Structure 1
Amino acid sequence: MNFENLIFSSHAIRQMFFMRINDREVRQAIAYGEIIEENLENTPFPSYLILDFVGGRALHVYEKFYS
């Protein structure tokens, strides 16, 4: 999966800092996690809630795909 254009919101960066989650773990969750919620009607772009278990803990990632 190509992560060249991955952008973290300020909220995501703050939460990653507080929860001690690094960008590698987020990328792993996006690449290998399970989509547990799809919002295809979100405008202007669809969004997904992804669940993965990284380092023995559950990690939820909210992702929007910008075309």
Structure 2
Amino acid sequence: MNHDITEGKWKQLKGHIKEKWADLTDDEIGQAQANNERFIGAIQERYGIAKDEAERQFYELKNKLS
């Protein structure tokens, strides 16, 4: 996959993340690109949900865009 396609997919995912988890900061959202586990931890912390649920929600959203 070339860089332009990857960058476009990231921008789509980032937009959907902002819609679903509006309370997250841009820095926390940026973690999704670099490290899924840290991003899932941010979802857990910000929304007070279990790790399994945060993972489920994140990967469900990510898979919708694939």
TM-score (norm 2): 0.35
Higher helix share: 2
Q: Which has the higher contact order (CA 8 A, sep 6+)?
A: 2
TM-score (norm 1): 0.35
